[in-house]
Structures are given as structure tokens and as C-alpha cells.
Amino acid sequence: MSNSSPTAPIDRLPRLQELAEAWPLRRSLEVLTAPLRFVAFWAAVALPFLYLPLLVGGLEGQQATVFAGLLLANVAALVLGHEHGR
């Protein structure tokens, strides 16, 4: 029988050190992505209001392309802003 446990503090030391080294990188990444998430979240809220004039006037010619572009921009904003406020 061995008295050493598989989760001895010395075994966990390298993992804790890796986490400590990764912390500043993670924090700086959060600081950089927070404004992007904020803007994307509110863009996802506001963009559907731009659909209304296009839909009321009918989608003729280039308006259909503009509508498709707005729709794609709204989907992108939804994906990017999904984590805002969590």
C-alpha cells in the first residue's frame, strides 16, 4: 500500500501555475471582447426595427438584397452578443 494520494498538492502545482500564467491573458481577452459583445447585443435588439420600412414598402429589386444583408447582420449580432450580461 502506498501512502501517497493521486491528488497530492505537489501533483496539482503545475496545473495551478499554468492557470496563474493564463489569467492575465484571459482577463485582457475579456476586456477586449466586452465592448464588442455590448455593441453586438444592442445591434441585435435595434436591427429588426430597420426591417419594418422595407417590409411595408415591399421587397423590390435592390431592397431584397438590403433586407438579406440586414438579416445576416442581425444573425451575426445575435451570435456575437449572446454572452453579453452573463
Q: What are phi and psi of 6, to 5 degrees?
A: -70, -15
Tell me the pLDDT tens digit for each residue of 1-57.
556 555 555 555 556 556 666 667 677 777 788 888 999 999 999 999 988 888 888
Confidence of residue 83 (pLDDT cuts 50, 70, 90): confident
Beta-carbon neighbour count of residue 64 at 10 Å?
12
Confidence of residue 61 (pLDDT cuts 50, 70, 90): confident
Per-residue pLDDT, 71: 94
Q: What pTM was estimated for this model as a whole?
A: 0.62
Hey, is 18 helix, strand or coil? Answer: helix
Give dist(CA 63, CA 59) in Å, integer: 5
Please enumerate in sequence order all residues whose Cβ is within 8 A of that of 73, keeping only pairs 6 or more positions apart, or say none: 43, 47
